[in-house]
A and B are shown apart, each in its own frame.
Chain A
């Protein structure tokens, strides 16, 4: 017999977990930073010394940032995707369980009782949702900031300088954002696994970021050859191909495959580990 009104399937509703996490200073600061970044970049471009662009050949994505809102968004994503967004994702996913353990609130949630699998599932959903929001907020805010600052124009492709109509590019931007989310799954799931394994939120976040750094370093080792394709960070910039005049999705497919491969196993380990774990914090 249970207490009246208790049902395992109703414990820790997503809404409650969203509220619990949202009111945290960490969440607010991260979102404020992500939302402010495009504006900071706009100011940097507006007031920075004017660099004269080098010819038609070898146009870089940074040279084209002031072409319009969409170009600016592509630039903002390219500078933030490799590290900032990854840190944000690691934060939301690595902090979620470990901080509860750190506050000692985890044991009271488990004794409420929230079944362990359910607790983890709800926390994972919320953490991934926040991560997805973090990945989305930068390009969306960048489109807004870039359009206000530089106007709404067609996107100019780096390298060749070709123009692609804005209307054609918008759906591709959706794909890019989606891909940025998927490619961050590795970081998310590793951070989550570390989060259930340690009581230190910083350890979980730092561990996941550390993996990315190690992977990036290994990526630079040419001697690894084709093996590098299976490094979790190798395909992080593959989304650039979606914005090419002739979009090439092969890199994104590979990147998504690698991400899903790592993520599924890491998440499975997280659940298995948490089920068997003695919660002593």
Chain B
């Protein structure tokens, strides 16, 4: 039987093809998202509504046609409408009319960057909404008032907030990683002193402004970040740049001037704060009254989680529904969770624009490290969900005791060398593995510049969600800039600074000690039992503007209490074992049972025939076809009586061996049956225990000796060792000392004799031998004939097949002649010979040739 033969082979092939087709269908790339239609929308803005600007936009018609709510999708700082093309296509596929645009001063849009000012960008976007109201595919709430939501990240998120405050036509917003107060973002101060006392975040500010400064050549469409990394020197300077342009890029001159000033001094002037706040939701508190999904990043030293908190609180105060999500990544890198953000945004717009889907009901979602996926070995994120956003203070707080003496900290001259907490724009390079839940980060503090205070090792795990608070005291003279960080530390491991975040402080020290309440950066982190929390207060941070004068101060604890906010309502969705882990094995075991039960041989008509109990062999109507259609055995019937030595005679291919194999239950007959002592032969029929056989050559384990082969064979039959008559059998084999050698060393004749001896083990009542004298020398042949004749005398029966006529003539009492699978003649050998005499020859050879019809 070939391995893949016949119909079963076809079925296997079909199954494989179906499986391959299914896989191909599953992984075949689907058609790309809809391609937008490029449009240029002229708008008029400026404080006096007199500046004409051309906005480069792309409109994506909703998939499925009809009227659909619109989504305005903004891009990040330094990007253009092309940066959000993919998301726009995906939103359009979900049935939204999507408009993306390059903000003024970016991409191919004209005009200058005004940082989402209500006088400029906001006015532009209001006119984009006007434009949308005229599109036939956009659903209208009223004439000129389309149903519109706004989404976008960073700069694009801020415009969503600012527009929602200034245009009542906006129905829902989903801003991500954006600011509440740009002045506070650039001049943070963690004790609440405000941006006027804030520490200048110089690296981020520099990147921010250089991103707006490059791209003077309007045809340059490179991605903002790529431009950041390649550096401006990588691009040839466009011709005809004025000195003013070289300095200010595409910024509005007023903004440029303010930036020059603050960057030079590192101090926020009232004018600068005023200007930055005009572009910030802080200036429009209470005016954003639409459903808002606020998404913020945990790895974001530019716009930390506190900005989202203030946005959410301001909007929630108006009574509008607000949900908050903290994703893993942010401006400092990590996993930006683009798919999650898109899914959340869609969900939000489905609920508040389409009003079809139900809102998730989860007011607060936090992405947490889910460890490694056991299959892919990639870090995965879990999304812990809570019914309501609790704010940075948590629903409950845990107080821990901080320990540590007062310590001297030095401010180095020129602010160098400086500690590193995050490297803006490159944060992910610093934080160990990218992703990783987005809250792991390595950090470097310099000795001599840092005071550390530690808790005792935690007894139980503590999950901090929000902004921990502590109180320190600063002793000395004059003003000092400090940075407070809260590490998760354990022995034998590098301490981890969650999110790579530091809280900057500007403190006026006094000899008696100035108490400072520090709001540490908001984080979400599980601190394992045995770990300690370490409060580090350092004088430097690479990302910030530092004083250039050296000084030394002493830092101690103002209070030993470290307050850790905990959100008890947050819980990761319980994921039990995947459903298929129990379903598949169950189905498979059931399938296995079906496969086995349907494959059972039919047990009908197996009753022994009592009348034949003393008849060693009766074959009736036996037929066997092979796969190729060849009839090996064709309607064969004969009977063998006790005490006979029967010769099964026929030329090669007559079907002798096939018949013998069917006698042994190795081959299933197609028709007819074989009965041995009245019992029907089926595979493994117990009556076969009365049959000894040697068919088509010996079969031994080559590594075992002749004796061991016979011994183990007999043990395999499970019969008593005494019944084997082992020594008699070995005598017949006549191998002498060779029985103790492995059979692989035997000659053909030795194996042959051992195999016949094996067939005789237990002295079976019926002995079936296929060409037993093949390979034996003449004396051995003579001996074999004697043995076989003697074997039959004790009421036992022997069947010998041969194609050698002389063999049968000299050994057998009876003969069955087969030719091409059919019975030609059966009877005593003497009868055959006498029949031959009638034809003039008493040689069996002539009789045989006559019988098979091939006589010359």
Residues on A lying within 8 angstroms of B by beta carbon are 1-13, 16-17, 19-20, 23-25, 56-57, 100, 103-118, 160-163, 197-198, 223-225, 227-229, 234-235, 237-238, 241, 248, 250-254, 256-258, 260-262, 264-265, 267-269, 271-272, 275-280
Contact = CB atoms under 8 A, between A and B. Distances in A.
B689 A110 contact: no
Given A57-B432, A105-B701, A238-B375, A253 B595 contact: no
Interface in B537-590: 577-578, 580-582, 584-585, 587-589
Contacts of B371: 248
A253 B677 contact: no
Contacts of A197: 3
A6 to B, nearest CB: 4
B391 to A, nearest CB: 30
A277 B713 contact: no
B580 A257 contact: yes
B143 interface: no
Contacts of B599: 271-272, 275-276
B696 interface: yes
Contacts of A57: 432, 442, 494
Contacts of A103: 699-702
A16 B711 CA distance: 10
B492 A25 contact: no
A245 B589 CA distance: 34
A107 B577 contact: no
B492 A163 contact: yes
B375 A104 contact: no
B699 A105 contact: yes
Contacts of A13: 715-716, 718
A261 B584 CA distance: 6
Contacts of A280: 1, 661, 666-667
Contacts of B493: 56, 160-162
A229 B723 CA distance: 56
A4 B582 CA distance: 48
- Of A110, A113, A116, A241, most B-chain CB atoms within 10 Å: A113
B607 interface: no
Contact of B377 (A3, A10, A237, A277): A237
B688 A234 contact: no
B719 A6 contact: yes
Given A23-B703, A57-B432, A260 B588 contact: yes
A223 B27 contact: yes
Given A20-B712, A111-B664, A234-B375, 15 more contacts: A1-B677, A3-B765, A5-B719, A10-B718, A11-B716, A12-B718, A20-B704, A24-B703, A103-B700, A110-B683, A224-B26, A224-B27, A235-B375, A261-B588, A278-B666
B455 to A, nearest CB: 20
A62 B328 CA distance: 31
Contacts, number: 220
Contacts of A117: 684
A4 B712 CA distance: 18
27 contacts: A1-B613, A2-B690, A5-B720, A12-B718, A57-B494, A103-B701, A104-B699, A105-B699, A107-B696, A109-B716, A110-B664, A110-B684, A113-B686, A115-B683, A115-B684, A116-B683, A162-B493, A227-B26, A250-B577, A253-B581, A267-B592, A268-B593, A268-B595, A272-B596, A272-B598, A278-B1, A279-B666
A-B pairs, top 9 by smallest CB distance, nearest first, are A251-B374, A104-B699, A10-B718, A268-B592, A272-B599, A115-B684, A105-B699, A6-B689, A113-B688
A3 B719 contact: yes
Nearest to B718: A10
Contacts of A262: 588
Nearest to B28: A223
A17 B27 CA distance: 47
- Of B587, B684, B695, B696, most A-chain CB atoms within 10 Å: B684
Contacts of B719: 3-6, 10
B701 A11 contact: no
Contacts of B592: 264-265, 267-268
Contacts of A235: 374-375
A109 B666 CA distance: 10
Contacts of B581: 253-254, 256-257
Contacts of A257: 580-582, 584-585
Contacts of B442: 57
A160 to B, nearest CB: 6
A255 B406 CA distance: 55
A45 to B, nearest CB: 23
Nearest to A101: B699
Given A103-B701, A238-B375, A272-B595, A265 B716 contact: no
Contact of A16 (B23, B691, B700, B716): B716
Interface in B409-444: 432, 442
Nearest to B768: A111
Contacts of B41: none
Given A251-B374, A268-B593, A111 B693 contact: yes
A224 B588 contact: no
A7 B718 contact: yes
Contacts of A20: 701, 704, 712, 716
Contacts of B578: 254
Given A1-B613, A237-B377, A264-B588, A112 B699 contact: no
Contact of B585 (A11, A264, A275): A264
Contacts of A113: 665, 683-686, 688-689
Contacts of A110: 664-666, 683-684
Nearest to B721: A5
Contacts of A224: 23, 26-27
B698 interface: yes
B717 A112 contact: yes
- Of A5, A229, A267, A269, most B-chain CB atoms within 10 Å: A5
Contacts of B701: 20, 24, 103, 105
B762 interface: yes
A278 B718 contact: no
Contact of A104 (B601, B668, B696, B764): B696
A258 to B, nearest CB: 7
B695 A161 contact: no
A5 B372 CA distance: 60
A277 B442 CA distance: 65
Given A104-B697, A104-B698, A2 B687 contact: yes
A7 B679 CA distance: 16
A96 B481 CA distance: 77
B343 interface: no
Interface string B665-684: 11110000000010100011
B849 interface: no
B8 to A, nearest CB: 9
A90 B523 CA distance: 51
A57 B704 CA distance: 56
A229 to B, nearest CB: 6
B371 to A, nearest CB: 6
Contacts of A271: 596, 599
Contacts of A105: 699-701, 713
Contacts of B718: 5-7, 9-13
A165 to B, nearest CB: 13
A11 B684 CA distance: 11
Interface string B360-379: 00000000000111111100
Contact of A3 (B580, B664, B690): B690
Contact of B683 (A10, A228, A268, A275): A275
B601 A3 contact: no
A115 to B, nearest CB: 4
A225 B76 CA distance: 30
A234 B377 CA distance: 11
Contacts of A12: 716, 718
A115 B765 CA distance: 20
Given A1-B613, A3-B764, A224-B27, A229 B375 contact: yes
B375 A258 contact: no
